[in-house]
């Protein structure tokens, strides 16, 4: 016990706490934003209130200085502000414009769920969609038509788009741009690169997660299936996976989008033949009936922008 007392005595020996307090107080009260605050509220602030709230004023001074000098603060992304609340002067923190914008971006990103889609598609924007060719202008008009009708519709079925065309014309990009515009309007979308999704479905048989993955695709608010027709389709993935997803979405009238290098007639022919070469026209026709019910066919041709 004696040793602790000696240590404490050595620590505080020779310190004039009253002098240190007055120096801190003088520094705080001379800080220009605090001087302005006290002047603006002088009718409601007494000397006693200042003394009682000096620690809060000191917090504001240090945090405000750090914020202005872009140093670390107690609440990154938030700026300090002095507020008079009765006999108390408290420090509150409000989000900066940068923080608000960052939160908006994150909220938009959370509404776009992506499976195996490239970053440039997920971050696509309708403002950046090239409309230098007539076919592209028509596709953009159809995209805006969907957005308008979907926003105004509360109960009726709204068809998505079946976007087909040559390689590199921006079909996937347009899907991503529509998804981002929907996210800005508070609507959640799931973008799926279908060939990779089908590969994962096959691999999921071993861990019994096929059902939950199919259910996820069934129930998402808006589903976009990219590059349908490029996958190696078996009779099982065509009928029990794709067919089940489309059947559910047709029954629930959930908007569904597609992109493909095939038009609808060509895709039906593609779906007719399973991986082992079996020809099943009736089953392919059933899939196409669901696709036609869910989406409107539009062509997107033009310059290959990957080259």
Q: What is the pLDDT of residues 134-189, one digit of tens each?
A: 778 999 999 999 999 998 876 678 999 999 999 888 999 999 999 999 999 989 99
Domains identified in the chain and CATH numbers: 2-95 (no CATH), 107-299 (3.40.50.300)
Q: What is the pLDDT of residues 29-87, one digit of tens each?
A: 999 999 999 999 999 999 999 999 999 999 999 999 999 999 988 899 999 999 999 98
Q: What is the pLDDT of residues 191-216, one digit of tens each?
A: 999 999 998 888 887 778 888 889 98
Cα–Cα separations (whole angstroms), residue 256 to 146, 157, 182, 222: 11, 11, 13, 6
CB of 246 closer than 8 Å to CB of 291: yes
| Cα 142 from chain centroid (whole Å) | 24
> How far is 179 from 236, CA to CA, in rounded Å?
29
Backbone phi and psi for residue 225, each to the nearest 5 degrees, phi listed first: -105, 110
């Amino acid at each position: 016990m004696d040793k602790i007392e000696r240590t404490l005595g050595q620590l505080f020996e020779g310190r004039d706490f009253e002098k240190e307090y007055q120096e801190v107080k003088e520094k705080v009260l001379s800080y220009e934003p605090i001087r302005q605050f006290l002047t603006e509220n002088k009718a409601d602030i007494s000397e006693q209130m200042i003394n009682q709230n000096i620690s809060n004023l000191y917090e504001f001074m240090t945090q405000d200085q750090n914020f202005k000098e872009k140093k670390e603060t107690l609440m990154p992304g938030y700026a300090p502000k002095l507020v008079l609340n009765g006999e108390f002067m408290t420090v509150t923190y409000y989000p900066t414009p940068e923080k608000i914008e960052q939160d908006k971006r994150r909220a938009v990103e959370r509404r776009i769920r992506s499976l195996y889609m490239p970053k440039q598609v997920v971050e696509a924007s309708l403002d950046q969609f090239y409309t230098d060719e007539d076919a592209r202008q028509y596709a953009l008009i159809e995209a805006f038509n969907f957005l308008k009708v979907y926003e105004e519709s509360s109960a009726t079925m709204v068809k998505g788009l079946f976007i087909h065309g040559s390689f590199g014309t921006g079909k996937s990009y347009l899907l991503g741009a529509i998804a981002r515009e929907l996210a800005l309007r508070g609507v959640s979308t799931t973008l799926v690169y279908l060939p990779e999704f089908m590969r994962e479905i096959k691999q999921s048989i071993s861990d019994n997660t096929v059902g939950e993955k199919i259910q996820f695709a069934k129930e998402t608010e808006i589903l976009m299936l990219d590059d349908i027709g490029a996958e190696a389709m078996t009779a099982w993935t065509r009928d029990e996976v794709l067919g089940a997803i489309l059947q559910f979405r047709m029954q629930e009238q959930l908007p569904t989008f597609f992109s493909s290098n095939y038009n609808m007639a060509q895709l039906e022919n593609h779906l007719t033949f399973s991986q082992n070469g079996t020809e099943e026209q009736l089953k392919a026709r059933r899939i196409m009936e669901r696709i036609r019910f869910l989406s409107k066919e539009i062509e997107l041709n033009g310059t290959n922008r990957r080259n």
